[in-house]
Amino acid sequence: MLHILEAELAGQLAAGEAIDRPAAVARELIENALDAGARRITIALQAGGTNWLRVSDDGHGIAADEIGLVGTRHATSKLSSLDELTTIATHGFRGVALASIAAVSRLTLSSRTADAAAATELRLAGGTIQHHRMHAAPVGTSVTVEQLFYTMPQRRRFLHGAGTEAAAVVAVATHYALIVPQVAFCVVVDGRTMLATSGCGQVRAALAAIYGATVAGAMIDVAPGQHATPGAPQVRGLLAPPGYSRRGRDGIHLSLNRHAIAARGRLPAVIEAAYRGILAPGEHPIAVLDIAIDPADVDRLGRTMHRGIRLQAETFVAAAVFRASRAALAERRSVVLPLSPAPTAPVMVHAGATGWRPIGQYAGRFILAEAEQGLAIMDQRGADIGGRRAALLAQWRAGGPAAQPLSPALTLPLDERRLARLLAQAAALQRWGFAIAEFGPGVIVRRAPAGLTPAQVSRALSAISGADEPTTEAIALSIAEATAVEAGVALSPAECGAIVARWCASRGADESPAGPVVAWLTPARLGALIQQEALRHQPPGAASA
């Protein structure tokens, strides 16, 4: 029999749709703070945010006579009519954030406007007001959420561990810190500062605080230019050059008209497509891009940070993002000739009794070398990774690679989970030449394997921190991948020879950990191909004559 749900139950079901984990609480409260004109936002949490999470801001606050409405669904100051949906410029507007959070937690809200003599504090439990008082507090708003999902124990059971949930909160704050660099963000997890940005308004400054100064300084500017089609979306931001990649899409930060959106669906896919042939399989770029389009082309009712966006002309927008990304990358890439034509003496390397003669580079991705078996066509990055990995393992078996001090020392920001993993490997990494120690929201690196640049050290340790229990082989592979030549990089004949020599010294395995690296073109096969082409271009009837 059909019946209408009780208001309390209906409210909790609706709240469960909007709030699914502590990161969703942080996201909603951050958007409220941004809409309130905040210049500084602080997020503090304990036990992953399920037991206690607080978001404080220095925005304009909520008036004392309106604060009683915060627990009421669809109470909002940002929208008054359906017509405004096409032009609304706020981050949130539904009026469900605080009500949804309050319905599934114990919530304390304190807020004060600039013209108020004191702040107003409101406490709610399960959406019901428990306490209301005036007290001393600075201008702005502070929301404390305790015992999240205490009204929905079944939802609590589906939460991850404290470290995973805390990392998700840090990831949300990181995203907004890059999208809104004029706002200072601070995230404190269990008393430890995990993120701190200055709010100076420069995206590179925020990037430096999150990914390090080396990454920030290497980023490529993306700006509308000749690649932009008249009337097309305007794409602006920064892209990382080859060599600064991530294992997942957590490095892709997107916004639409300066509003954060999730890195899901077609848009991040076209950014990765722009890197095709530049990044190795399994690697993902770092990107901070804003897409400016007509607000009328965005379905604001369907847009949320965790569900992505709905666009009227998604293909048109995706094409603009691809063109802008590809053009920016092309401007920074080296010009690669089909073959290295420099009149230098041939470089000879040997693998056992078999002599190899590197010929040159082709298409910026392959090295051609002559051997007894025929013409070897080598994937330059795959071959370099395989050769370096074998050399590193040989050095490790002999006691470890030579080390060099880093001056100045390198700081590497990490989220809580990656930090814990890397610190757990600190002793093992000493044999590889690394000297690391905890420092702020990450580690400080004072020593590294000889020959590695700071950027390569950062990439290697970031990769190692992404594995739960990295093996010796996995660590060697991470260092090799961080130091190997990228696809698209022009190589001299000597550099081609060095890669071939390293690969031959690795006992000439036909495959690297990333897959096959060499294809063979024998004289017989080449002759057959030429004969096929000759037959294909013969005039009709010539063969029978």
* pLDDT at res. 340: 32
Residue 188 lies in a domain: yes
Q: Which two tokens stand for residue 453?
A: 């640049």
CATH number at residue 46: 3.30.565.10
CATH number at residue 306: 3.30.230.10
Residue 141 pairs in a beta bridge with 57, 111
* pLDDT at res. 310: 57
Task: Report CA-CA distances (Å) from 396 to 389, 399, 467, 507.
Answer: 10, 5, 20, 17
Task: Report CA-CA distances (Å) from 466 to 124, 354, 418, 477, 486.
Answer: 40, 40, 6, 13, 21
* pLDDT at res. 110: 96
Q: What are phi and psi of 222, to 5 degrees?
A: -115, 125
Residue 533 lies in a domain: no
Q: Is 360 helix (H, G, I), strand (E, B) or coil?
A: strand
pTM tops 0.75, yes or no: no
* pLDDT at res. 339: 31
Chain centroid to CA 207: how far?
Answer: 11
Residue 214 lies in a domain: no
Pair 374, 509 in one domain: yes
Strand (E) or helix (H) holding 144: strand 140-146
Residue 410 lies in a domain: yes
Residue 536 lies in a domain: no
Per-run averaged pLDDT (10 residues), the chain, 545 residues: 52 59 95 95 95 96 88 55 52 67 94 95 92 93 95 86 87 94 94 90 91 84 72 89 77 90 84 84 86 75 48 76 89 43 40 65 88 88 91 89 84 86 91 90 89 88 86 92 86 85 69 67 84 77 56
Residue 344 lies in a domain: no
425 touches 472 (CB < 8 A) = no
DSSP state of 219: P
Q: Is 350 helix (H, G, I), strand (E, B) or coil?
A: strand
Pair 77, 158 in one domain: yes
pLDDT-above-90 percentage for the chain? 36
Residue 534 lies in a domain: no
* pLDDT at res. 472: 92
Pair 236, 143 in one domain: no
Task: Report CA-CA distances (Å) from 307 to 123, 220, 313.
Answer: 30, 28, 18
Residues 6+ apart with CB under 8 A from 183: 34, 38, 39, 40, 41, 176, 177, 199
* pLDDT at res. 468: 75
Pair 40, 119 in one domain: yes
Pair 164, 302 in one domain: no
Q: Is 248 helix (H, G, I), strand (E, B) or coil?
A: coil
Pair 314, 269 in one domain: yes
Instruction: Give the E-state strand segments of 257-293 in sequence order.
Output: 259-261, 284-285, 287-292
State the burial class of residue 545 (Cβ atoms within 10 Å of its Cβ: 0-12, 13-18, 19+): exposed
State the burial class of residue 7 (Cβ atoms within 10 Å of its Cβ: 0-12, 13-18, 19+): exposed
Pair 139, 16 in one domain: yes
Q: What are the pLDDT digits (tens) for 185-211?
A: 999 998 888 889 999 999 999 998 888
Identify the CA nearest to 279 among candidates 514, 519, 500, 516.
Answer: 514
* pLDDT at res. 175: 94
* pLDDT at res. 505: 78
CA gap 329, 319 in Å, rounded: 15
Q: What are the pLDDT digits (tens) for 283-309?
A: 788 999 999 887 776 665 454 444 455
Counted domains in the chain: 3
Pair 315, 464 in one domain: no
Task: Report CA-CA distances (Å) from 460 to 246, 445, 454, 468.
Answer: 11, 12, 10, 15
Find the domain containing 266 and state its range: 219-332
Residue 530 lies in a domain: no
Pair 193, 86 in one domain: yes
CA gap 373, 18 in Å, rounded: 63
Pair 286, 390 in one domain: no
CA gap 382, 319 in Å, rounded: 30
Pair 189, 304 in one domain: no
* Radius of gyration of the chain measured on its C-alpha atoms: 28
* pLDDT at res. 136: 93
CA gap 91, 179 in Å, rounded: 12
Residues 6+ apart with CB under 8 A from 265: 308, 309
Among the candidates 332, 366, 396, a domain finishes at 332
Pair 353, 319 in one domain: no
